Amino acid sequence: MYRLLSANLYRLRIYKPFWINLFILVIIEALLTFMLVVQGEVPLDFTLFIVLLVIGIITSFFIGLFYGTEYSDGTIRNKVIAGHKRITIYSASLLIGIISISALYFVSLIVGVFIVLMFSKDGNYDLLHFLVSSIIGWLSCVSIASIFNMIGMLCSSKSKSSTTCILVSFMFLLIGLICYSLSLQGLNSSIFSEAVQFLFDANPFVQGIQISTVDYLTIYKLGFYCLYLILITNLVGMHIFNKKELK
């Protein structure tokens, strides 16, 4: 596992789209946070809102290509021929996805927090709430990485992988926004209302909308949904990848 992870890290280090994505995300976070800060007081948690809302979309552009290259260039075969087990290859791929999205998340978050602390006059922040929200926000990112990893490891071409990742991220975002809109309007049917709420809570692409404003219990609930999603996507992905013919 360590060998494959080293190989993946080396590739990520020299992968230009990753650094371009990092730059774009940092710029978005910095600009939006600064614009809000100059208009008035901004809660620290708001930096989370910005990052988590865009990170799924931004990451989908580069990560689908990153994973898909292994199939298009045939290099995934080198790992199998070299004697690595399928489960190790899948896990190393998942880890590099987590590392890359974590880097994007934390760097952007630090930039946003820095701007808020620098330019905001009021220093009264609920740091504990922010810390807990940050950790759960990170779990959202990990679950997004798990989804993209499953797509990348099962799609047999670069174009399919990147297109699917982008479409999935927009689809999840759209579903999440529809659920959010419906929940705001209020629904008559309690079953339907619960279903909408579940779809909204379990969707890692839109957890950023509520993560900064809800109570601790709800935050932990969101965290558990993330963990379930991580478990399910990886179990399904590993099972299918284990039997996949690598052409």
Interface residues with other proteins (CB under 8 A) are: 2-4, 6-7, 10-11, 14, 69, 73-85, 243, 245-247
CB of 134 to other proteins, least distance (A): 32
CA distances (Å), 145 to each of 34, 101, 102, 155, in order?
28, 7, 9, 15
Question: Quick one: 76 or 111, whose CB is closer to other proteins?
Answer: 76
How far is the C-alpha of 42 from the C-alpha of 61, rounded, in Å? 29
User: Least separation, in Å, of the C-beta of 91 and other proteins?
Assistant: 15
The residue (of 6 and 181) whose beta carbon lies closer to other proteins is 6
Residue 69 or 143: the one with the smaller Cβ distance to other proteins is 69
Nearer to other proteins among residue 91 and residue 218 (C-beta): 91
Phi/psi class of residue 93: alpha, beta or left (left: φ > 0; alpha: ψ in -120 to 50)? Answer: alpha
HSE-up (13 A, CA, CB side) for residue 52: 27
Q: How far is CA 37 from CA 32, 121, 124, 149, 243, in A?
A: 9, 9, 14, 36, 52
**CB closer to other proteins, 14 vs 184:** 14
User: How near is the Cβ of 8 to other proteins at its closest, in Å?
Assistant: 8
For the bound state, the minimum distance from the C-beta of residue 95 to other proteins, rounded and expressed in Å, comes to 14
Q: How far apart are CB 244 and other proteins at their closest, in Å?
A: 9
Query: Is residue 115 within 8 Å of 34, Cβ to Cβ?
Result: yes
